[in-house]
Structure 1
Amino acid sequence: MQPLSTQIVGSYVKPQWLVRHGHEHHHDGSWWRPEPGVLADAMDDAVLLAIAEQERAGLDVVTDGEIRRQHYDRHFVTGIGGISLETIRDKEFTSELKSKTARTDLGDLWQNFRLSPTITGPLEWVSSPAIDELRFLKKYARRRVKAPIVGPMTLYDRLADDHYERPEDGIMALAGVLNRELKELEAEGTDLLMVADPALHFKLSRSREIGKAVIERLLEGVMTPVVLHVCYGYAKYSTSKTINPSYPEVLRLLSETPIQAMSIEYEQPGHTPDLLKEAGDKHVHLGLIGMGTHEIETPEHIAERLRAALKVVPPERLHPSTDCGMWFLPRAVARGKIEALVKGTNIVRRELGLDIPEYAIR
């Protein structure tokens, strides 16, 4: 990957004409606005829009925006044997992360969030819900592409477990299943694979015990570069984020695993370059675009943050990105933010004498 390559984490705007925001945890069909007979076409159009806006902004790597996914985690459950979507449990989500404040105006959203499919038997890979998404992306994208999936520790937390005696066993089983998912995507062909596993941060005590082993199993035999994304959670569901003292430990853990790159939430919590010393010799996808406000960052602000980060991580291993997924932002805001990301990166590219792709010059 070229120095200072730009990209979003995974998800892009899910337009109001496609989904009902606030219904993302409703599984009664109310999330999607179009009638069933035209839903597939509407999804295709929204993916084409996401690709076009990323490419028009000048990003170097694009995704399909995760447009077809109601959730980035539960989306993969349909391709895993041993999980029942009919057996639903009310499972309370717990987190050790104390640095964000949950909103109090979310109504029944959290009640629906707790309703979890159930592991009822041995977990096994059956099919990939992401293969067709990747094929569609590759058909229309003119840039390099990235295929994102959920991580095993996060997915396990979104499931009730009636089968495995220990959470560790269920998580390791999911790591094996998702390893097959990565290999299927690799066989289809993609420039980057990405795994989103924020539970590495949410439950650090568990990560200390099994995190490295889980990641090693997840990446076993995978040759395509893998980026592992760890965030503080969606800004949509929190009123504030402050630096969590445990975040550097998460990066240290990742630096000792086989991943090629880590994707870091950096802008909204207000991290400083000292954090990046924990990344070791890994590539760093640096979140320079915050999701907690509709204010669009200036290119100058991005360039300033990037210059400071470059004092720790060299340009060949540093890649400007977003803090987290963008699915809940208004289109104009998201578009402005990724355009600013490219413009700010171009300022620094010029200062370093780096080539700027023609498509990124605005």
Structure 2
Amino acid sequence: MTRLLPTSTAGSLPKPSWLAEPEKLWSPWKLQGDALIEGKQDALRVALQEQTCAGIDIVSDGEQTRQHFVTTFIEHLAGVDFNQRETVRIRNRYDASVPTVVGAVSREKPVFVEDAKFLRQQTKAPIKWALPGPMTMIDTLYDAHYKSREKLAWEFAAILNQEARELEAAGVDIIQFDEPAYNVFFDEVNDWGIATLERAIEGLKCQTAVHICYGYGIKANTDWKKTLGDEWRQYEKIFPKIQQSNIDMVSLECQNSHVPMDLIELIRGKKVMVGAIDVASHTVETPEEVAATLRKALQFVDAGNLYPCTNCGMAPLPRAVARGKLQALAAGAAIVRQELTA
């Protein structure tokens, strides 16, 4: 990862229509059994090819093997009953039917490790793997056992650490923890949220990242954004503590957002994955628009620490739109890279 301004995505890419219903979160699989395993691997190959052809430097699986960025991980854990469902408010934004924690949670076997090994076999490029963060996991469940958000978060942190260590051993270069909940529960983030995240990365030698965005481009999230006013200053409440943490990289939302760019100054010294692609719009950015966002960010982050990225995952977007956005991201980064090295 010696290249200046290495590009990557925040996580998900659209799934092919033969694998799952496109442009939809929690879309059910269209295949079963061995055909599903093969179909997921084929989709992963396609997602990798899309990134490689677009010129993305740090590649991922596009989350092709999971239905949802949080619940697919939880599905593999003991102590959670997916048949016993309750309706909860997700990140104070929308109601969802979620599984129930009915006993002590534990990870009886690896969740994504075989998928990561498969991705590693397909490419020599640096690879990034996303896991849900402890706070976002507890916010996507009904807890009938621990009755304490903090206690459950510490349990999940230990489980995530087991998975992360095995992902590192499988050849993953960057492990990213998705924590959109950090933009909502500020007191908890500062009291114990970042501490649980540091537990999740304990002992890792690979790069670690936390991804904090304003959510997928779904209606519940875009409606919420309209209530946030002209300046979105949520990051201001949590960045000072993140700056002091052991996390290497911070992934944040910038393109078409009302986040004041100078807030990045609060995490000076960290590597910053600057979201230069809007995932809540079908409009494909021009390379020059991407470049303009990156130039603004460079006022507050050293060039060697700037990692152009997408705002969030692109699972709900049409495949052609996502492809165009990947190409724009790579082309925009190339413009600024040339300016910096000229």
TM-score with structure 1 length normalisation?
Answer: 0.87
Distance 1:151 1:63 in 2: 17
How many positions carry a matched residue from both structures?
335
Query: 1:92 and 1:15, CA in 2 relative to 1: closer, same or farther beyond 3 A?
Result: same
Percent identical pairs in the alignment equals 34
Q: 2:151 aligns with which of 141, 148, 169?
A: 169
Separation (CA, whole Å) in 2 of partners of 1:212 and 1:293: 31
The alpha carbon displacement at 1:304 in A equals 1.6
More displaced, 162-171 or 130-139?
Answer: 162-171
Asked if 1:11 corresponds to 2:8, the answer is no
SS of the residue 1:123 aligns to: strand
In structure 1, the residue matched to 2:163 is 181
Aligned counterpart, 2:124: 142
Quick one: which of 264, 289, 296 aligns to 1:308?
296
CA apart distance, 1:36: 4.7
Find the residue that maps to 1:91 and give its secondary structure: strand
Residue range with higher mean Cα deviation, 46-55 or 250-259 = 250-259
1:151-230 correspondence to structure 2 within 5 Å:
151-230=133-212
Determine if contact 2:86/2:97 at 8 Å carries over to the other structure: yes
Matched residue of 2:6: which SS? coil
Q: Give the superposition deviation at 1:39.
A: 2.2
What is the aligned partner in structure 2 of residue 348 from structure 1? 336
Compared CA separation, residues 35 and 169, structure 1 to 2 (3 A): closer
Asked if 1:282 is matched to 2:270, the reply is yes
Per-residue deviation, 1:148: 1.0
Tell me the alpha carbon deviations over residues 56-99 of structure 1, each in whole angstroms, 9 at most, x when there is no partner: 0111110010011111001111332222223222333352xxxx
Q: Which residue of the partner structure matches residue 308 of structure 2? A: 320
Match of 1:239 among 222, 233, 236: 222
- In the alignment, does 2:52 pair up with 1:55? yes
Would you say the 8 A contact 1:215–1:258 is kept in 2?
A: no
Give, in angstroms, the shift of residue 218 of structure 1.
1.5
Q: Which amino acid aligns with 1:150?
A: P
Higher mean displacement: 36-45 or 176-185: 36-45
Aligned-pair CA distance for 1:45: 1.7
Question: Which residue identity is paired with 1:258?
Answer: N
Q: Which residue of 2 aligns with 1:266?
A: 254
Structure 2 unmatched ranges of 5 or more: none
Distance 1:175 1:275 in 2: 27
Give the residue type in structure 2 aligned to 1:239: T
1:107 paired residue number = none
Q: Secondary structure at the match of 2:325?
A: helix
* Counterpart AA for 2:100: T
Runs of 4+ residues over 4 Å off in structure 1: none
Rounded to whole Å, the distance in 2 between the matches of 1:234 and 1:337 is: 15
Using the TM superposition, give the Cα deviation of residue 324 of structure 1 relative to its aligned residue in structure 2, in angstroms.
Answer: 0.1
Following superposition, the deviation at residue 37 of structure 1 comes to 5.5
Structure 1's unaligned 5+ residue stretches are 96-101, 103-109, 355-362
Q: How far apart in 2 are the matches of 1:294 and 1:22?
A: 11
Give, in angstroms, the shift of residue 205 of structure 1. Answer: 2.4
Distance 1:94 1:5, change over 3 A: closer
Q: How much has 1:194 moved relative to structure 2?
A: 0.7
Q: Counterpart of 1:328 in 2: which secondary structure? A: coil
Residue number among 101, 105, 108 corresponding to 1:119 in the alignment: 101
In structure 1, give the amino acid aligned to 2:6.
S
Q: Name 2:326's counterpart in structure 1.
A: 338
1:14-53 matches, cutoff 5 A: 14-21=15-22, 24-25=25-26, 31-34=28-31, 36=33, 38-53=35-50
CA distance in 2, matches of 1:50, 1:69: 13
Is the CA contact (8 Å cut-off) linking 2:232 and 2:258 kept in structure 1? no
CA distance in 1, matches of 2:72, 2:265: 34
RMSD, matched Cα: 1.9
Question: CA contact under 8 A between 1:78 and 1:129: conserved in structure 2?
Answer: no
Q: Report if aligned partners of 2:111, 2:163 keep a CA contact under 8 Å in 1.
A: no
- Could you list the per-position Cα deviations for residues 334-354 of structure 1 after superposition, in whole angstroms to 9, with x for gaps in the alignment? 111111111111111111117
Render the CA deviation track for 1:17-38: whole Å, top value 9, x for unaligned: 321247644xxxx712235553
CA 35–187 in structure 1, closer or farther in 2 if over 3 Å, else same = closer
Name the amino acid aligned to 1:51.
L
Q: Tell me which amino acid in the other structure corresponds to 1:7.
A: S
Q: Secondary structure at the match of 1:72?
A: coil
- Please give the alpha-carbon distance, in whole angstroms, between the structure 2 residues aligned to 1:80 and 1:334: 32
SS in 2 for 1:332: helix
Contact residue 19 and residue 33 of structure 1 kept, 8 A: yes
Greater shift in the superposed pair: 269-278 or 284-293: 269-278
Instruction: Tell me, yes or no, if the aligned pair for 1:268 and 1:292 is still in contact at 8 Å.
Output: no
